[in-house]
Structure 1
Amino acid sequence: MKLIMISGGVRSGKSKFAEELATRCAAGSPVLYVATGRSYDAEMQQRIEAHQGRRPSHWGCIEAADSLVGSVRHYNAYSTVLVDTMSARIGNVLMSAPETKLRSQAITAAIQQEMQQWIVQLQTVTAAKEAKTETVIVVTDEAGLGGVAMTPLGRWFQDVVGDANQAVAAAADEVYFVVSGLPWRVKG
């Protein structure tokens, strides 16, 4: 199994690039799209609908807003899996934390543990004899390009996503950074 990570800033074109890459990797076979976004407001709902509108109708889709680890059991029915986005999954956890728990070490540790478990489970499940999965593509936001966030929640998000990105990038076979719609291969 090949793990490919695609990072970039907001609206950089990383999801579109990931979808194009998944289409090429699948070579006509259906792709499993693992959606992590959660609709918090009308603008986020429009973003989700735009992503849905771009996907081919023959792709599979599962919602994983609450757990990336729980989604892995579905991967082996597909040769190519696209997780969009890891950073949204992390944001879901942080957004659900009460304000009194901002910067909670327990929540931060739980997120780090989930990301490590996802990587291990991904490698274990796709290494099985009956595994069909050849490529897993994970999209994430590059959280450190815009300066230090102005709010405690924003800074926490940057820190946790930055750590998760580093862990996944270390495990990935290929890493791309997308700038203004242009992918730049930085690993592999």
Structure 2
Amino acid sequence: MKANIHFVTGGQRSGKSAFAEKVTLELSETPIYLATSKKWDEEHNERIALHQERREECWTTVEAPIEIHQNDFTGKVVLLDCITLWLTNIFDEVSYDKEKALQRAQEIWTALIQQDCTLIVVSNEIGLGGISMNKASRQFTDIHGLINQFIAQQAQKVTFVVSGLPMTVKE
């Protein structure tokens, strides 16, 4: 592994993306925003627009719904937002096969972190709530938790954001 990783996690609307953007801008005047979201519907498009409006012109946006490792980020500061949407795309690509999704995600992630770059990585903590009645949702929650653990173990720093307040988990 060559990448320097700061993993930022928290609940939906916890302030984790805004925090990650602030951290990224402290590290670079010309950061890269690695966007993993597909545009699904009007409500989701509005969420994407809010993120875009918040970012200044100094950001370069790279869209990669699945193949996050295929761009050369050597020497760059990259904000990857977010693991949850990236995993959603992978889970869909492999027709909701839990083992295939986990393997594919680990392979792509491992290829990405071979690059000598700084990665600020945003993810959700989706397993903090109730257990879904839907099998695919439960499997996705499992995969997501495992990938979060996989990334956090490799990260040099981990921050958990609650109600807009960052808490250092790993330094």
Q: 2:123 aligns with which of 121, 140, 144?
A: 140
> Aligned ranges for residues 26-37 of structure 1 at < 5 Å?
26=28, 28=29, 30-37=30-37
**Alignment gaps of 5+ in structure 1:** 127-132
C-alpha contact (below 8 Å) 1:35/1:85 kept by paired residues: yes
Structure 1's 56 and 74: CA in aligned 2 closer, same or farther, altered over 3 A?
farther
Aligned to 1:65: 65
C-alpha contact (below 8 Å) 1:68/1:114 kept by paired residues: no
- CA apart distance, 1:59: 1.0
Paired with 1:82 and 1:39, the residues of 2 have a C-alpha distance of: 19
Moved over 4 A (4+): none
C-alpha contact (below 8 Å) 2:80/2:122 kept by paired residues: yes
Paired letter, 2:57: S
1:22 aligned onto 2:24: yes
The structure that has the greater radius of gyration is 1
C-alpha contact (below 8 Å) 2:72/2:115 kept by paired residues: no
Deviations 1:50-94 (A, max 9, x none): 111111112111111132232xx3312x53100000111111233
**More divergent stretch after superposition (60-69 vs 33-42):** 60-69
More helix by share: 1
- CA apart distance, 1:157: 1.5
Structure 1's 114 and 93: CA in aligned 2 closer, same or farther, altered over 3 A?
closer
* SS of residue in 2 equivalent to 1:144: helix
Q: 2:72 aligns with which of 66, 69, 74?
A: 74
**Alignment gaps of 5+ in structure 2:** none
CA RMSD of aligned residues (A): 1.7
C-alpha contact (below 8 Å) 1:119/1:171 kept by paired residues: no
> Aligned ranges for residues 33-182 of structure 1 at < 5 Å?
33-70=33-70, 73-76=71-74, 79-95=76-92, 101-102=95-96, 104=97, 108-126=98-116, 133=117, 135-182=118-165
Q: Among all aligned residue pairs of Structure 1 and Structure 2, give the percentage whose two residues are the same amino acid.
A: 35
Paired letter, 2:90: V
Aligned to 1:130: none
Paired with 2:119 and 2:49, the residues of 1 have a C-alpha distance of: 23
